[in-house]
Chain A
């Protein structure tokens, strides 16, 4: 009787332990709310503002923050656009997110060369990479592998969405 009870307790503890580990595997990193979407009145102004801000964020730490912030922003934009089946726009937003994410690493490298302690930013980037991967994996299950975008006045574009998302995940996994 006692052994049976002990087994139940141990099994319960094992399950709790495993589930805690699973929860801990998720990143606590918080992504921003979706910002202005392409096609809205202020989108172009927003893009202009981003370009100006590039010069405001001077310094390797600040540039790291700028690029990570934009990478987050465009990832959220891509996710939202994919959810609304705006695959071409989502695809372009994801490309932008990848580009900014790749740049973060360059500025961390520069900061290291400037003898700045980058430990806390590396942790932040790792957390961000985990969160981005989580989001990208959830997106990949809800979109078609390929999509042909037929524009009104130009030739159709084949979007290899599955490959694009895999590539994005790969970029993030290099950091993890």
Chain B
């Protein structure tokens, strides 16, 4: 039964990989031969397919989590699933729901090919370069930190300035950090539920393995910093926290938690890991909630707190809240996918969808679960 479940799940991922190629950008002339315009001309069908995929992914996610809880999913099998989906999605088309990978490539090209400072010079200034025509943030200077810029040199040079090849080399870098993050979660928690909670979360899979966002690089470095701190390697820990901040700046919000842990460490007191990850989760969640002030609440920002929530599996409310919020965030793409518009009313609808599922769960939790727990207590 379990074997069939894994096979069906992998088939589903394979279908999703094929599905991603319906979204090939018409401006991305390098893949003109496989451009079908299907997702633009059959919006309703594409949206229905997407919604079905999301629900199936969450169904499998919850099943795998349940199997891990009853110890029916073993280390070896989980490793097989994670490696297989990583390899399959490595070959998916990268910009189904976001175009950030093109921004990464453009910034790297400005730096390493044109030898210009990407914090001063924008990609749009290279008017004779056709490879910038599909970059959405061509009129912006680099949005990412210098450590990301240095790291992006690896996939850039491995891509030999070929835009198609670079799509995959940049994705490979993010896949590598996704795997490293999982290894670290395992090393810290020694718990398969924690590993499954992060690694098989459909939002993490879609935003990291499909859309190839660099958030997992930042999170890996932050987690590694905490890992070093737990191992009493303070200097190394500080270095990795700085490196993490210099990827995308968001982990600067972890500094208060980090200082608290550092003080505990200096006092020769054991760091309470649960409390430490709980505060980290809260910090990153607050930052996520504040993100509309800066720009918008993007679903890949959820990776910041999902990683820390994976250590809080005993806290049932947080556990399911994150699952339901992940559903809401992925369904938040539906209005745009269906209409092709990004007006204020579409953005409002997106926020309503995002809020709806965690809200329903919260109401359910406080009306039924918490009440029954209290009743049992009495």
A contact residues vs B (CB 8 Å cutoff) = 56-62, 65, 114, 116-117, 119-121
Interface stretch (choices B116-124, B236-244, B347-355):
B116-124
Instruction: Evaluate whether A61 and B125 lie within 8 angstroms (CB atoms) in the complex, with A56-B117, A116-B114 already known.
Output: yes
What residue of chain A has the Cβ atom nearest to residue B129's Cβ? A117
Q: Which of B115, B126, B128 contacts A58 (CB 8 A)?
A: B115
How many Å lie between the Cα of A149 and that of B24 in the bound state?
70
How far is B121's CA from A36's CA once the two chains are assembled, in angstroms? Answer: 26
Complex alpha-carbon distance, A58 and B127, angstroms: 19
Determine the distance from Cα of A108 to Cα of B349 in the docked complex, in whole angstroms: 48
Mark interface residues in B67-99 (1 if CB within 8 Å of A CB, else 0). 000000000000000000000000000000000
Classify chain B: how many residues form its interface, as a range.
10 to 19
Contacts of A61 in B (CB 8 A): 114, 116, 120-121, 125
Q: Report which residue of A114, A116, A119, A121 has the largest number of chain B beta carbons within 10 angstroms of its beta carbon.
A: A116
B209-250: contact bitstring with A at CB < 8 Å (1 yes, 0 no)?
Answer: 000000000000000000000000000000000000000000
B115 / chain A contacts, CB cutoff of 8 Å: 58-59, 114
20 contacts between A and B (CB under 8 A): A56-B117, A56-B120, A57-B120, A58-B115, A58-B117, A59-B116, A61-B116, A61-B125, A62-B116, A62-B117, A62-B120, A65-B121, A114-B115, A116-B126, A116-B128, A117-B126, A117-B127, A117-B128, A120-B127, A121-B125
Given A59-B121, A61-B121; A119-B116 close (CB under 8 Å): no
Task: Tell me the bound Cα distance from A27 to B166 in angstroms.
Answer: 42
- The main secondary structure of chain B at its interface with chain A is loop
B117 and A59 within 8 A (CB): yes
Establish whether residues B126 and A60, one from each chain, have CB atoms under 8 Å apart when the complex forms: no
CB distance from B256 to the nearest CB of A (A): 30
Determine the residue in chain A with the shortest Cβ distance to B111: A59
Could you say which of A56, A59, A119 contacts B114, with CB atoms under 8 Å apart?
A59
* Chain B contact residues, CB within 8 Å of chain A: 114-117, 120-121, 125-128
- 8 nearest interchain CB pairs? A59-B116, A117-B128, A62-B120, A117-B127, A62-B117, A61-B121, A61-B116, A58-B117
Who on chain A is nearest to B125 by CB? Answer: A61
CB distance from A9 to the nearest CB of B (A): 44
Question: Known pairs A59-B114, A114-B114, A117-B127. 13 more at Cβ < 8 A?
Answer: A56-B117, A57-B117, A58-B117, A59-B115, A59-B116, A59-B120, A61-B114, A61-B116, A61-B125, A62-B117, A65-B120, A119-B127, A120-B125
B116 partner residues in chain A, CB cutoff 8 A: 58-62
Q: Which residue of B lies closest to A56 (CB)?
A: B117
Distance in Å: Cβ of B115 to nearest Cβ of chain A:
5
CA of A67 to CA of B121, assembled, Å: 14
In the complex, what residues of A have CB within 8 A of residue B125's CB?
Answer: 61, 120-121
Complex alpha-carbon distance, A116 and B123, angstroms: 12
- Which residues in B have their C-beta under 8 angstroms from that of A119? 127
Q: Which residues of A contact B128 (CB under 8 A)?
A: 116-117
> Of all chain B residues, which has the CB nearest A121?
B125
Closest beta carbon of chain A to B36's beta carbon, Å = 33
Question: B114, B116, B126, B128: which has the most chain A beta carbons within 10 Å?
Answer: B116
The residue on B at minimum CB distance from A66 is: B120
The minimal Cβ–Cβ distance linking B157 to chain A, given in whole angstroms, is: 18
- CA A119 – CA B128 in complex, angstroms? 10
B12 nearest CB across to chain A (Å): 46
Contacts of B120 in A (CB 8 A): 56-57, 59, 61-62, 65
